[in-house]
Structure 1
C-alpha cells in the first residue's frame, strides 16, 4: 500500500548527527562469579545493625579496623557510598543497603555506579589521581560482594541499579568519558551461580530497555522528528529475530483517515508517521498484547501555546512511544512466547498557519469525531487514532497505552509514580504487579462514571478536553476508542522525567514504563 513500508535501512538514522551519542547507550556487563579477585576494586555492603551500621563484615573484607570505616563516615543507609583507600594501594567501596530488601540493593547499585563514574572521570582529568582504581586494565572493572542470603530478587535489583545508575547522555564534541564496563557479583559459598547469573542477564535486558527509552527521549528535537524516531526504531528492529517494523507516512495516514495524527502534525514542516512493530514468535501462546505509545517528538502546545519556561523539556513528550519501542525490542530479544504489537503515532505539535485550532472538529480513524478544545491536549488525539486502528485491524486481546498525557497526574501522584487506569480489574493488577517486580510504581486511578457524560460532544461525537478532573477525563476520552476490550491507560507525565538522581534514575529522561511493559508481556505467557 502506498506510503507504508517494512523498513530496510539505507542510511542509519543513528548517524543523523555525528555529535549525537551512540544509540543505544552501552551499559555495564554484569556477571555472577564464585571468587573474590585480588587487584580488582571491590565494593562490600553495609547492613543496619542493632545499634547502627554493621561494619565488621566490610572491615574484614578490606582488612582494616572497623574504627577506620566509622571514621570515614560509612553508613548503612541505602545508597550511601564511601570510598576507602586500602593498604594494598587500591580502592574499596562501602555501600549501605539498609535492611537488605531488594529495593535497597537497587538504590545501592545506582549510587555505587554513579560514585565509580565520578571517580573514573576524576582520574581521567587529573594525572595526580591516576592509579587510585588500581592498574589501568582494572580501572573500568568492579566486584561486589553478595550477602550470604542472596536470592534472585537481590541480584536483579542490584544489576538494575548498577546498569542504570551510571547512565549518561550528553551531546558533545569532547571525547567519550570513561565508564564502568564490567561488574562481577561475587556469590557466597553454596549459591547457585548459574541461576543467579541468569537473573543478572535478564535484569540487564530490562535495564537496556530503560536505557534505550531514555536515549530516545533525551535526543534533542532538532535531530528527533517523527521520521527519525520511527526510523531508528525500525533500524534497531531489523536486527532482532521475529520482529518486523512498518513505518507509515503522511500520505498513507491521509488515505486511511488518521485525522488525529494529521491534525496534530499539520502545523509542522516535519510530517507525522505511524510506527508498527510486530513480534510474532513461532511458539506464541496466550493473548495478543497491543501496546500504544504517544510519540510527540516536540510539543509547543500548538495554537494553545505553552509557557516558555520548561518548554525545552518537551523533547521528552514521546517518552510513552520510547517505552513501547524499547519494550518491543526487549520482548523480542528475550524470546517471550507471546504475540505483541507496538504502535507509536508520532508527530510534532507546532505553531504555523497550517496548525489545527481550538474549535476544530477532527475525524479519527474509524469515523469518530472530536471537538477540539485545546491544541495542547494533542496526545489523546494521536492515541485515539492508533487505538481505533488497533481495535479494527489487529484483533488485540489486551490493549495498553502509555503516554506523558496530563499535568493532572503530576499534581495527583508526584514525579515517581505512574497513574494507572484500567477497564479490567485483572489487567490493572497485572500491570501493578509487573511494575512492582521491576522497580516501577503504579497507582490505580478511578474511571469515574460520573464524568463519562462530560466526554460526550455537542458539536462532535466526543469532546477532547471535557470539564472535570483532567487525568480521569483524558482516560475516559481514550476509553471511547477501545471497543470495550480489556484496556489499561498508563499516564507517565510525572515519572517520565527526573530533575535529580535517585535510586537507579538519573536526571533527565527516566525510561519509566519500559520495564513494566516487558514484565507485563512476560506475565501473559503464564497460565
Structure 2
C-alpha cells in the first residue's frame, strides 16, 4: 500500500544548503524580502536569487516558482525560488506545496520555509500531490527517495501543527488507494478486510454479512449483488472521540466494487473505469481513517454498502420488484441504477440504529451529474439549508469543488410506479435530481441530510490541483473540515 510522503521538520541551518542534493526550495516575497535560508542561497549562487526577484517579482503571483537549474555554488540539481506571501491563506500555501511536489518528481526535496506562518499547510500540499499508485507495477523496487525535509525556525511547533493535516492526507491517500484498485483485487471481502484492519487505529469495526442483511430486510441492497459470486456486505465503522451520549454524524458510502450495469449491461467502451464505482465508500473510509489518526474529539459513524453488480442467471432483472428495509417496494426499471438501491437500505438502517445528528451520503451515482457539472464540482443535494451551507463552506475552505442542486416534489413525482411504491429511476431528464429524490424518500424529515453525487470528481483522466490522474480522494478534506467545524466537542478541541 502507498503511504503519504514523509515530511521531516528540522531547524534552519544555512550551512546545509551548499551540500543538499536533489532539489532545494527557498521562499521569497514579491517585495523581495528573503529569509535566512534564501539569503544564504543567494550568497552561494552569487546573487542568482536576487536576479530572479528583480526579473519576476513585479508580475509574480503567490505560489509562482522559478527554477535555477544546477545552481553554481550548490550541490543541488535545482534551486526553486518560490514567491509566497507571508499572509497567504492555508489553501494558497497548500497549492504552493503542490507546485513543489510536481516539480521535484522523485528527487529528494529540501524546503526552506523558515518562519513562514503557513509552513504546515505547505507541507500538506507537498504530501497531497506526492502520490503514485504503483502496487501492480513489476519494476524492481528502489530506495524510496520521496522523503521531504523542511527547515523551519520552530520545528517542534510546526510538526505539531502539521500532524493533523498529514493525518488527513493519509486519509486522502487511503481513499485514492481503494479507488484505484482493480476489482479482481478489491473484492467486497478484501474491501471489508482492509476496513477491519483499521480497528488498530481505535475504530470499532463491524462487518454485516449477507445472512444478517437478509435478517434485517435489506432486500434492495441484496438485489444488486444477486448476480455476483462476491458476497454483499455492510461495514460499520465507529469513532467515539466526542461526548459519550452525543449523537454521531453518520457518513454513508456506496461501495459497488465493480459495476457492469447488471442485466442492463453498460457499453463495453469505458467499462474498465467502473472499478471506481465504490468511490463513495472509499471517501467514507478515508474520512474515518483521518479522524482516528488525528484523534478527533467527535462521534462519527461510517457505513459502507459493499456489492458487485454482475449479470448472471441469478441477477435481478428489469421489471423485478424488490422490498427495501424500510418496507417500501421498488420496481427495478434499470439494473444500472443500482447505487441508490444500496444506499436506501443503509440510510434506513443508520437512522434506526444510530439516531444520527445528521447524515451525509456519497456515491458515484449518476452520469448525469457529469453532464451538468463536469469534473470540477460534486453535486450537493440537501433537505437542510444550514447543514448544507456548513458543508459548502467547508468545501470552499479546503479547495474542493461542490455545487448545490435542487430538490422538489415535481422531481419526486417522476419516480411513481404503476405496480410498486416507486421506480428506481425517473428516466433521463434531471437524472441526478430524481436519483437524489429517491434517496430522499428514505430520510426522516427531522434528520439533516446531504447527498453528494461524486461521479465527476472521484476519479478523473487528467491531473487535478491536488492529485495526479486517477483517483482524487475528493471529499475527505471537506468532510474532515465539516466534522472539525460542526461536530467536535469544543471543550476537548480547545
The TM-score bracket by the shorter chain reads 0.7 to 0.9
Deviation of 1:163 (Å): 0.5
Deviation of 1:525 (Å): 1.4
Deviation of 1:354 (Å): 1.3
Take 1:427 and 1:69, find their aligned partners in 2: how far apart are those partners?
Answer: 47
Aligned residue in 2 for 1:312 = 272
Deviation of 1:401 (Å): 0.3
Aligned residue in 2 for 1:157 = 121
Take 1:47 and 1:495, find their aligned partners in 2: how far apart are those partners?
Answer: 34
Alpha-carbon RMSD = 2.8
Take 1:285 and 1:82, find their aligned partners in 2: how far apart are those partners?
Answer: 55
- 1:28·1:180 contact (CA, 8 Å) conserved in 2? no
Aligned residue in 1 for 2:185 = 223
- Aligned pairs for 1:201-220 (under 5 A) are 201-220=163-182
Take 1:201 and 1:64, find their aligned partners in 2: how far apart are those partners?
Answer: 37
Tell me which moved more, 172-181 or 515-524.
Answer: 172-181
Take 1:25 and 1:479, find their aligned partners in 2: how far apart are those partners?
Answer: 37
Cα 1:81–1:310 shift into 2, 3 Å: farther
Deviations 1:241-284 (A, max 9, x none): 2x111111222222221112211111111121111111223744
Deviation of 1:503 (Å): 2.3
- Aligned pairs for 1:61-80 (under 5 A) are 63-66=45-48, 69=52, 76=60, 78=63, 80=65
Cα 1:299–1:478 shift into 2, 3 Å: same
Aligned residue in 2 for 1:514 = 476
Take 1:351 and 1:367, find their aligned partners in 2: how far apart are those partners?
Answer: 26
Take 1:81 and 1:316, find their aligned partners in 2: how far apart are those partners?
Answer: 37
- 1:30·1:201 contact (CA, 8 Å) conserved in 2? no
Aligned residue in 1 for 2:94 = 106
Cα 1:282–1:104 shift into 2, 3 Å: closer
- 1:320·1:492 contact (CA, 8 Å) conserved in 2? yes
Take 1:173 and 1:196, find their aligned partners in 2: how far apart are those partners?
Answer: 38
- 1:27·1:163 contact (CA, 8 Å) conserved in 2? yes
- TM-score of the aligned structures, taking structure 1 as reference length: 0.82
- Determine whether 1:145 maps to 2:133: no
Cα 1:68–1:465 shift into 2, 3 Å: same
Take 2:449 and 2:10, find their aligned partners in 1: how far apart are those partners?
Answer: 39
Take 1:79 and 1:262, find their aligned partners in 2: how far apart are those partners?
Answer: 52
Aligned residue pairs, count: 471
Cα 1:79–1:402 shift into 2, 3 Å: farther
- Which consecutive unaligned segments of at least 5 residues does structure 2 have? 33-37
Aligned residue in 2 for 1:456 = 416
Aligned residue in 2 for 1:343 = 303
- 2:163·2:294 contact (CA, 8 Å) conserved in 1? no
- 1:295·1:344 contact (CA, 8 Å) conserved in 2? yes
Aligned with 1:265 (options 205, 216, 225) = 225
Deviations 1:66-116 (A, max 9, x none): 487599999946465635212233234325557754433323322322332
- Determine whether 1:28 maps to 2:3: no
- Aligned pairs for 1:406-485 (under 5 A) are 406-467=366-427, 468-484=429-445, 485=447
Cα 1:312–1:85 shift into 2, 3 Å: same
Take 1:316 and 1:28, find their aligned partners in 2: how far apart are those partners?
Answer: 27
Take 2:43 and 2:183, find their aligned partners in 1: how far apart are those partners?
Answer: 49
Take 1:505 and 1:315, find their aligned partners in 2: how far apart are those partners?
Answer: 18
Aligned partner of residue 209 in structure 1, secondary structure: helix
Aligned residue in 1 for 2:206 = 246
Take 2:279 and 2:475, find their aligned partners in 1: how far apart are those partners?
Answer: 9
- Determine whether 1:234 maps to 2:193: no
- 2:188·2:306 contact (CA, 8 Å) conserved in 1? yes
Take 2:76 and 2:438, find their aligned partners in 1: how far apart are those partners?
Answer: 60
- Which consecutive unaligned segments of at least 5 residues does structure 1 have? 1-21, 51-55, 121-139
Deviation of 1:293 (Å): 0.5
Deviation of 1:379 (Å): 0.8
Aligned residue in 2 for 1:172 = 137
Aligned residue in 1 for 2:465 = 503
- TM-score of the aligned structures, taking structure 2 as reference length: 0.87
Take 1:363 and 1:184, find their aligned partners in 2: how far apart are those partners?
Answer: 57
Aligned with 1:115 (options 84, 97, 103) = 103
Take 1:84 and 1:344, find their aligned partners in 2: how far apart are those partners?
Answer: 49
- 1:58·1:94 contact (CA, 8 Å) conserved in 2? no
Aligned residue in 2 for 1:6 = none
- 2:464·2:472 contact (CA, 8 Å) conserved in 1? no
Aligned partner of residue 488 in structure 2, secondary structure: coil
